[in-house]
Amino acid sequence: MIEIRIPKEIRTYKEKLFFGLTLRQLICTLIAFIVNVPLYWFGKDIIGADAASWAVIFIAMPLFLIGYFNYNGMTFEQFVKSVLQQEFIYPQKRKYTTLNMFELLTTENKKRGNKRATSKQKKRKKENKNS
């Protein structure tokens, strides 16, 4: 029987080109090999095998992160951008301020002398005297 693999979410599908790698992964892997193999071969004679291997690791790590890292559908660059924005650009603590309209109106009425309230009180006093 023939089986066809169908991805769970079609938007997350990425075409595999060579050795089961996407184009992005393939390019980053090739760059890492092109840079690090000669660096190790020629660097081990100059700075020693241990130092050359550490240099290769520290140069290859960002290249492989760029190619293979995927977190919640974000590439490495998008992830670093969002982390930098969250930690340094946007404020961590958001201030919640409210505007108490009742208090604002009562202080304004007190400042004006509350002409409307005093006129109502005068009308009530006149009504009470008349009754």
Asked whether residue 3 is assigned to any structural domain, the reply reads no
- If asked whether residues 109 and 55 sit together in one domain, one would say no
Instruction: Dump pLDDT digits (tens) for 81-130.
Output: 999 998 888 877 777 888 888 888 888 888 887 555 556 666 666 666 66
Instruction: Dump pLDDT digits (tens) for 47-70.
Output: 999 999 999 999 999 999 999 999
CA–CA gap between residue 39 and residue 53 (Å, rounded) = 9
- If asked whether residues 80 and 120 sit together in one domain, one would say no
- If asked whether residues 83 and 113 sit together in one domain, one would say no
- If asked whether residues 78 and 123 sit together in one domain, one would say no
- If asked whether residues 105 and 77 sit together in one domain, one would say no
CA–CA gap between residue 46 and residue 52 (Å, rounded) = 9
Asked whether residue 21 is assigned to any structural domain, the reply reads yes
Number of domains making up the chain: 2
